[in-house]
């Protein structure tokens, strides 16, 4: 059964010099308008006033009429309006306590992107032409768009490595709900093994960042020696960015293949609700935890499960999955991280990670049957640590064992 989900198709493209200059101006104007609107809303907030999208849209019209900001008229107005809508969404998430207060966009650190709605581009016969441009973009069609669909929005971006991308959001009729299966799996994430499944299978952590660490260190050392503002420094910075891009691409590709396989093979997937932002505060583990990209993996699992009619259950991070015997249910008093195998009083010999995955599966299925505590919030209450082997309170929504 087709579900008609919103899906983005991302492609590389190679702009002409004129197109690159136009898009660079657009990126700068989008960043400028976003920062101006954020400043205006922040100042209004200090005066206990509320400013919404309509008010900032009127401000944009006034800004264009000033001599100082007249350059905003040189680019398409569609991306400028879209960035105001994005700011409105950011404030809505902040007031709903789903995100932090919006921050200003930096020219060096923020993502260079611009979003066009249907009034800002023309798509016909596989040729995409943006507003203010006379020629279509030279897109590398690495995979075809679904037949008979047209994009509702187009997002153009440039990454730190200087690569240009276009992302097209379409209603994808090709995504179909998979036939139900009677399998469920518990998933325990780790560093030595990226994933350990309740079936006993261990998936090795590729450690993409570690493989390129020597190349990255050499490139960063060369960058540090270059004079600031020089052309050689710009070239060295680009080389560092390309190494980072290579690491990111390989990691994302591996996680996509892994998450797709697990979603296709299992009806129910049980994971642990870890708070990674707290775990990376540990300086000894921060680099390895970031390279594992557990949050990105969970995000992929969740949206693919929604696409294909599967279910993802998140078990409370304070559930003592590592200290609990999956055979008899006995709870160990402590379980240091260096202990990888242990023997329970009942005689069962456990691999720490496999045992944790089995306990996660049992707890997730039990919580699902009870109908509560299945999907706890990701935020950590009171800034508590997410280290699972030392829980500091009873697990919420999970039957006591």
CA proximity to 292, closest of 251, 331, 327, 326 = 251
Active-site position among 272, 273, 302, 316: 272
For residue 73, what is the DSSP state? G
Please state, in angstroms and as integers, the Cα–Cα distance from residue 212 to each residue in 206, 216, 225, 226, 246, following that order.
11, 6, 20, 22, 9
d(CA 193, CA 380): 25
In the numeric block, the tokens 């702009």 are attached to 15
d(CA 367, CA 374): 6
Give backbone dihedrals phi and psi of 156, rounded to 5 degrees, phi first.
Answer: -105, 135
d(CA 321, CA 350): 12
272 carries an active-site annotation: yes
Active-site position among 172, 291, 316, 353: 353
273 carries an active-site annotation: no
H/E stretch holding 302 reads helix 294-308
Tokens of 148: 């008979």
353 carries an active-site annotation: yes
d(CA 143, CA 285): 38
For residue 236, what is the DSSP state? H
H/E stretch holding 214 reads helix 213-225
Active-site position among 188, 209, 273, 316: 188
The catalytic residues are 188, 272, 353
């Amino acid at each position: 059964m087709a579900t008609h989900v919103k899906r983005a198709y991302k492609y590389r493209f190679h702009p002409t010099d004129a197109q690159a200059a136009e898009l660079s101006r657009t990126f700068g104007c989008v960043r400028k308008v976003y920062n101006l609107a954020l400043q205006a809303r922040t100042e209004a907030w200090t005066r206990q006033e509320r400013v919404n999208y309509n008010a900032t849209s009127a401000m944009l019209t006034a800004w264009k009429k000033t001599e100082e900001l007249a350059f905003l008229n040189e680019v398409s107005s569609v991306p400028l309006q879209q960035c105001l809508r994005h700011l409105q969404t950011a404030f809505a998430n902040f007031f709903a306590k789903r995100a932090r207060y919006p921050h200003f966009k930096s020219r060096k650190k923020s993502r260079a992107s611009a979003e066009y709605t249907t009034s800002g581009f023309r798509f016909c016969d596989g040729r995409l032409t943006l507003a203010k441009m006379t020629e279509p973009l030279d897109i590398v069609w690495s995979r075809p768009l679904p037949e008979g669909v047209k994009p509702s929005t187009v997002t153009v971006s440039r990454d730190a490595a200087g690569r240009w991308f276009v992302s097209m959001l379409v209603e994808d009729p090709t995504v179909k709900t998979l036939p139900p299966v009677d399998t469920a799996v518990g998933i325990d994430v780790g560093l030595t093994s990226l994933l350990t499944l309740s079936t006993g299978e261990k998936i090795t952590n590729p450690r993409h960042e570690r493989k390129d660490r020597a190349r990255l260190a050499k490139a960063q050392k060369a960058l540090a020696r270059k004079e600031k503002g020089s052309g050689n420094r710009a070239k060295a910075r680009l080389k560092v960015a390309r190494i980072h891009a290579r690491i990111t691409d390989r990691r994302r590709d591996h996680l996509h293949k892994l998450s797709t396989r697990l979603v296709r093979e299992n009806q129910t997937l049980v994971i642990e609700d870890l708070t990674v932002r707290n775990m990376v505060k540990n300086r000894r583990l921060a680099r390895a935890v970031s390279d594992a990209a557990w949050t990105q993996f969970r995000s992929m699992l969740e949206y693919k499960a929604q696409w294909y009619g599967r279910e993802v259950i998140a078990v409370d991070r304070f559930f003592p999955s590592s200290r609990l015997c999956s055979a008899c249910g006995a709870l160990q008093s402590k379980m240091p991280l260096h202990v990888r195998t242990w023997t329970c009083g009942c005689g069962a010999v456990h691999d720490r990670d496999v045992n944790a995955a089995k306990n996660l599966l049992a707890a997730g299925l039990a919580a699902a049957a009870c109908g509560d505590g299945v999907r706890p919030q990701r935020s950590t209450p009171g800034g508590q640590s997410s280290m699972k082997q030392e829980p500091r309170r009873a697990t919420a929504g999970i039957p006591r064992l």
